[in-house]
Amino acid sequence: MSEVVTGDAVVVEVRVAQMPSRAVALSIDMLVQFTALFGANAILGAFASISDPAMFAAVMIVLSVLVIVGYPVLFETLTRGRSLGKMALGLRVVSDDGSPERFRQALFRGLTGVLELWPPLFGAPALICSLISKQGKRIGDVFAGTIVISERVPRHGDQVIMMPPPLANWAATLELSGLPDEVVHAARQYLMRWHDLSPQVQHEMGVRIATQTAAFVTPAAPPGVPPHAYLSAVLAERRRREEARLAQRAGGLPQKGPYAGPYQAPHQPPSPYAQPGPHQATGPQPGPYQPGPPPGPYQQPGPQPGPYQQPGPQTGPYAQPPAPAPEPPKATPGGFAPPQ
């Protein structure tokens, strides 16, 4: 795995393509190119006896350049970084910041590939440079500012982000249509790695990603909600709505209530509100935000201790006895309070 910093200063982990998979993809591409060159030579050879030798040589040079250079440049530009060999192996060329490959970058990679991969060097410079580079870059990638990644990344089981019960009613009113996939991916990776981070990094990274998310989500979070709880609620609600749309499209019934479907009690998840999946054994979850058993769609959730209770006197299931006002948490950007 390698970290890529996007243009929005979001750190995203990507799986760098390994040398064997890149070699197989290159072999497939070169096989296609040799086949095209052989076919063109056979077709033009039939007219060599009745054409000018100089014209025949010029046409062959042009076709060779188009096949050797034009093939990778054309395919990688039209398919956003994928040739036939890369498609077969699940590889893609992207920029160093994670953005799609552009024509200029594909042209640099194609031109340098003539010297790196074809006779008389037969790929030796590309192999040496890839072994030296931490990200497996060949010379063309260094000049073009690109990296080859593997899109067939193994999933983290069937883990999903769980809805914090005190935020379920608020999350049901969210407007999520403008939330970009890049921000969702960054938030999910943060929650998956939440337990591996130090408390300071948990809060600082959470505030940054939660602030970016809040720019696309309305209404604002209730006062005093920690960043990881806010992100968990947004991602869980987004998943619930996607599953409801898929169920309707398949002719099934949409899920009822914010706790229906996969939002069950997790068993030792790698994020604050992740769960292993609906077919695995579940167990109690330690921590200050341990949710109780999910209530039915027409029941009110039971009392929930923690930082989600609204300040001031309340009535109903979330009421609490008067207590001395605690010291307000330190203000952070985006209105998110640090965990208690």
Q: Which residue in the block uniquely carries the two structure tokens 């030579």? A: 41
* Least confident stretch, 168-182, 198-212, 316-330: 316-330
236 three-state secondary structure = helix
- Output the pLDDT for position 43: 86
Mean pLDDT across 280-295: 42
- Output the pLDDT for position 233: 94
- In terms of average pLDDT, the best of 34-48, 115-129, 294-308 is 115-129
List, in sequence order, every beta strand (DSSP E) within 162-306: 274-275
Q: What is the mean pLDDT of the chain?
A: 76
Q: 77-89: per-residue pLDDT in tens? A: 999 999 999 999 9
Mean pLDDT across 197-223: 90
- Output the pLDDT for position 76: 95
- Output the pLDDT for position 6: 54
The answer to whether residues 336 and 210 touch, using CB atoms and an 8 Å cutoff, is: yes
pLDDT band at 339 (very low <50, low <70, confident <90, very high): low
- pTM above the 0.75 mark? no
More confident residue, 157 or 182: 182
DSSP notation for 185-221: HHHHHHHHTGGGS-HHHHHHHHHHHHHHHHTT-BSPP
Q: Considering the chain, what percentage of its residues have pLDDT values greater than 70?
A: 68
Residue 224 has pLDDT above 50, yes or no: yes
The answer to whether residues 289 and 306 touch, using CB atoms and an 8 Å cutoff, is: yes
- Alpha-carbon gap, residue 150 to 97, rounded angstroms: 15
Angle at 57 between CA 52 and CA 63, to 5 degrees: 125
- Output the pLDDT for position 328: 55
- Output the pLDDT for position 98: 80
- Output the pLDDT for position 152: 77
- Establish whether the linkage from the previous residue to 219 is cis, with ω within 30° of 0: yes
More confident residue, 150 or 9: 150
- Output the pLDDT for position 302: 46
pLDDT band at 145 (very low <50, low <70, confident <90, very high): very high
Please name the helix (run of DSSP H) or strand (run of DSSP E) that holds residue 97, with its range, or none: none
Residue 329 has pLDDT above 90, yes or no: no
Mean pLDDT across 8-32: 82
- Output the pLDDT for position 264: 40
Residue 25 has pLDDT above 90, yes or no: yes
- Alpha-carbon gap, residue 158 to 189, rounded angstroms: 14
- Output the pLDDT for position 109: 96
How far CA 89 is from CA of 31, 32, 96, 140, 309, in Å, comes to 15, 15, 21, 20, 50
Pairing of strands 11-14, 2-5: antiparallel
Residue 269 has pLDDT above 70, yes or no: no
The answer to whether residues 239 and 259 touch, using CB atoms and an 8 Å cutoff, is: no
Q: Which residues pair with 13 in a beta bridge?
A: 3
- Output the pLDDT for position 196: 81
- Output the pLDDT for position 42: 87
More confident residue, 305 or 188: 188
φ, ψ for residue 339 (rounded to 5)?
-60, 145
* Least confident stretch, 146-155, 193-202, 274-283, 322-331: 274-283
Residue 295 has pLDDT above 90, yes or no: no
- Output the pLDDT for position 11: 52
Mean pLDDT across 120-137: 91
pLDDT band at 189 (very low <50, low <70, confident <90, very high): confident
The answer to whether residues 269 and 280 touch, using CB atoms and an 8 Å cutoff, is: no
Residue 287 has pLDDT above 60, yes or no: no
pLDDT band at 322 (very low <50, low <70, confident <90, very high): low
113-144 per-residue burial string, b: 16 or more CB within 10 A, e: under 16: beebbeeeeebebbbebbeeeebbbbbbbeeb
- Establish whether the linkage from the previous residue to 288 is cis, with ω within 30° of 0: no
- Alpha-carbon gap, residue 21 to 302, rounded angstroms: 53
Residue 144 has pLDDT above 70, yes or no: yes
